[in-house]
C-alpha cells in the first residue's frame, strides 16, 4: 500500500529533515510533498491534494513563528478536519510552558508548583511570599536556554522589572557550558570560525526576536540529583536518567545514565500519555525527596544523539506494554532522531483506522 504525506516545514531549514529521511528510507511506499507553513500560500497547498496525513514539526526557537504554526495547525486539524501527526494538543503544549502548565493543572498531573503573572504588581507581591530558590522560565526555549535559578529577592525583583519593560527577557544563546565534550566542541568551532560566527549570530538573532515581555513564569525548585527522560512513541517506551555535569540544570547537558527504569515510572508515563492521548511524547520527570514523580516538561519532539533511548543490561531496546506486563525488546528503535519510529507509528495508525 502506498501513502501520500505532506511534511509541514517550519521556518528552520533542518527541522523537518527527520521526516524527509524517514520518508526516503525505502521501507515504506511513501510519496511526500513539503509545505512551507510560514508562506502566504500554505493553505492553497494544504487543500490542493488529498494527503493521507500531515507530518508536522512545530518550531522551538522563535515565539511568533511558534504562534503562526499553532494557528495554522489548528486550521488544518480543527477546521479542515485533516489528519495530523503528532496530535494538535501535543503541538500546542510543545515549547509553550504556559500552555503546558494549564494542561498539567487541568488534568491533575503531578508537577512542580507554577505561577504565571501578567501583572507586575502581582509578581512583585509574590517576591515577598515565595520560597527561594525559585526557577524562572521563558515560555519558549529548548535545552534549558530560557531557565534561570534565582536565589535572592534582589535578583528576582530585577528579573521581574526587566520582564515588565521593553527590554524583556533574553534567553541564553551562547555556548552551552553545561554540555559534555566542551573542549572538543571549542576545537571544532575554532577550526571553522566563519561557520561558527554564523551559527551563533543566528542563535542570537533567534533569541533577540523572542524576547519575552509583560509576563513571568516561576516554578517551584525541586531538589533532586537526576531527571528521568521517558519517551513514548506509539506502543514503544524508553527511559534513561539525565545527569547534571555542570550547574544545577539537567536540560542540555547530554549527560545520561542508563539505569533501568522502575515499573512505577513506566506506569506513570503511560498514565500521562494515555490522559493526553499522546502519539509522540518525551516526558521529563523529577523524583522529589518523598519519591513522588513530577512532570517537568512534555515535548513531542526532542533531540537525541543516540540510535537508542534506553539500555538495559548493556543492550539497547524498548519496553512494550502487553496486557499489563512490561516486556523488553532489544534493538535500536530511535534511529534518525526517532522519526523512523514515528513514521512507522503513523502508518500503523492509518492501517488500523485509528488516526
Q: What is the pLDDT of residues 131-145, one digit of tens each?
A: 999 999 999 876 677
Inform me whether the pLDDT recorded for 288 exceeds 70. Answer: yes
d(CA 254, CA 138): 21
**Which pLDDT score is estimated for 236?**
98
**Which pLDDT score is estimated for 57?**
97
190 or 218, greater pLDDT: 218
**Which pLDDT score is estimated for 304?**
82
**Which pLDDT score is estimated for 315?**
98
CATH, range 226-336: 3.30.470.20
Instruction: Please name which of 231, 269, 233, 270 lies closest in space to residue 345, comparing C-alpha atoms.
Output: 233
Instruction: Please name which of 229, 234, 228 lies closest in space to residue 340, comparing C-alpha atoms.
Output: 234
By percentage, how much of the chain surpasses pLDDT 90?
77
HEC readout, 256-280: EECCCCCHHHHHHHHHHHHHHCCCE
pLDDT tens sequence across 39-56 = 999 999 999 999 999 999
**Which pLDDT score is estimated for 250?**
53
Lowest mean pLDDT among 73-77, 110-114, 244-248: 244-248
By percentage, how much of the chain surpasses pLDDT 70?
87
246 or 271, greater pLDDT: 271
Lowest mean pLDDT among 96-105, 154-163, 195-204, 308-317: 195-204
**Which pLDDT score is estimated for 252?**
56
The string of DSSP codes covering 214-231 is S-EEEEE----SEEEEEE
Lowest mean pLDDT among 133-142, 232-241, 287-296, 330-339: 133-142
Please give the mean pLDDT across all residues of the chain: 91
**Which pLDDT score is estimated for 61?**
81
d(CA 60, CA 16): 12
Lowest mean pLDDT among 52-66, 238-252, 279-293, 298-312: 238-252
- 76 alpha-carbon distance from chain centroid: 21
User: Taking the CB of residue 142, how many other CB atoms lie within 10 A of it?
Assistant: 19
- pTM: predicted TM-score of the whole model, two decimal places: 0.89
d(CA 84, CA 355): 8
Lowest mean pLDDT among 103-112, 173-182, 192-201: 173-182
CATH, range 2-85: 3.40.50
pLDDT tens sequence across 218-270 = 999 999 989 999 999 999 999 999 997 655 555 555 689 999 999 999 999 99
Inform me whether the pLDDT recorded for 79 exceeds 60. Answer: yes
Which residues neighbour 275 within 8 Å (Cβ) at sequence distance 6 or greater? 107, 109
99 or 182, greater pLDDT: 99
Return contacts of 121-124, CB within 8 angstroms, 24+ apart.
123/160, 123/163, 123/164, 123/216, 124/157, 124/160
d(CA 293, CA 343): 30
Instruction: Write down how long the chain is.
Output: 355
The angle, 0 to 180 degrees and rounded to 10, between the axes of the packed helices 153-163 and 120-129 is 170
Give the domain ranges of the chain: 2-85, 97-220, 226-336
CA Rg value for the chain: 21
The superfamily (CATH) of domain 97-220 is: ATP-grasp fold, A domain (3.30.1490.20)
**Which pLDDT score is estimated for 198?**
67
Amino acid at each position: 500500500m502506498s501513502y501520500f504525506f505532506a511534511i509541514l516545514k517550519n521556518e528552520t531549514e533542518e527541522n523537518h529533515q527527520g521526516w524527509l529521511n524517514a520518508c526516503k528510507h525505502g521501507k515504506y511506499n511513501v510519496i511526500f510533498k513539503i509545505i512551507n507553513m510560514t508562506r502566504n500560500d500554505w493553505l492553497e497547498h494544504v487543500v490542493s491534494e488529498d494527503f493521507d496525513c500531515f507530518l508536522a514539526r512545530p518550531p522551538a526557537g522563535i515565539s511568533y513563528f511558534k504562534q503562526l504554526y499553532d494557528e495554522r495547525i489548528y486550521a488544518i486539524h480543527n477546521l479542515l478536519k485533516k489528519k495530523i501527526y503528532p496530535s494538535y494538543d501535543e503541538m500546542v503544549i510543545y515549547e509553550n510552558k504556559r500552555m503546558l502548565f494549564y494542561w498539567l493543572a487541568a488534568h491533575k498531573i503531578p508537577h512542580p508548583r507554577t505561577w504565571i503573572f501578567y501583572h507586575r504588581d502581582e509578581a512583585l507581591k509574590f517576591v515577598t511570599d515565595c520560597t527561594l530558590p525559585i526557577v524562572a522560565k521563558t515560555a519558549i526555549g529548548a535545552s534549558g536556554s530560557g531557565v534561570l535559578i534565582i536565589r535572592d529577592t534582589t535578583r528576582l525583583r530585577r528579573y521581574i522589572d526587566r520582564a515588565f519593560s521593553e527590554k524583556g527577557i533574553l534567553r541564553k544563546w551562547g555556548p552551552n557550558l553545561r554540555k559534555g565534550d566542551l573542549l572538543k566542541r571549542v576545537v571544532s568551532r575554532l577550526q571553522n570560525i566563519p561557520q561558527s560566527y554564523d551559527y551563533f549570530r543566528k542563535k542570537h538573532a533567534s533569541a533577540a526576536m523572542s524576547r519575552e515581555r509583560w509576563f513571568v513564569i516561576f516554578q517551584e525548585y525541586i531538589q533532586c540529583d537526576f531527571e528521568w527522560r521517558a519517551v513514548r512513541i506509539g506502543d514503544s517506551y524508553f527511559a534513561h536518567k539525565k545527569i547534571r555535569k555542570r550547574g544545577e540544570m539537567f536540560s542540555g547537558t547530554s549527560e545520561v545514565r542508563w539505569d533501568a527504569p522502575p515499573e512505577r515510572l513506566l506506569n506513570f508515563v503511560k498514565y500521562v500519555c494515555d490522559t493526553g492521548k499522546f502519539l509522540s511524547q518525551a516526558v521529563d520527570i523529577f523524583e522529589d525527596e518523598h519519591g513522588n514523580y513530577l512532570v517537568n516538561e512534555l515535548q513531542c519532539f526532542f533531540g537525541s544523539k543516540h540510535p537508542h533511548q534506553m539500555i538495559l543490561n548493556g543492550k539497547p531496546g524498548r519496553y512494550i506494554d502487553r496486557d499489563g506486563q512490561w516486556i523488553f525488546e532489544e534493538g535500536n528503535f530511535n534511529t534518525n532522531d526517532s522519526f523512523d519510529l514515528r513514521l512507522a507509528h503513523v502508518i500503523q495508525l492509518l492501517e488500523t483506522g485509528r488516526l
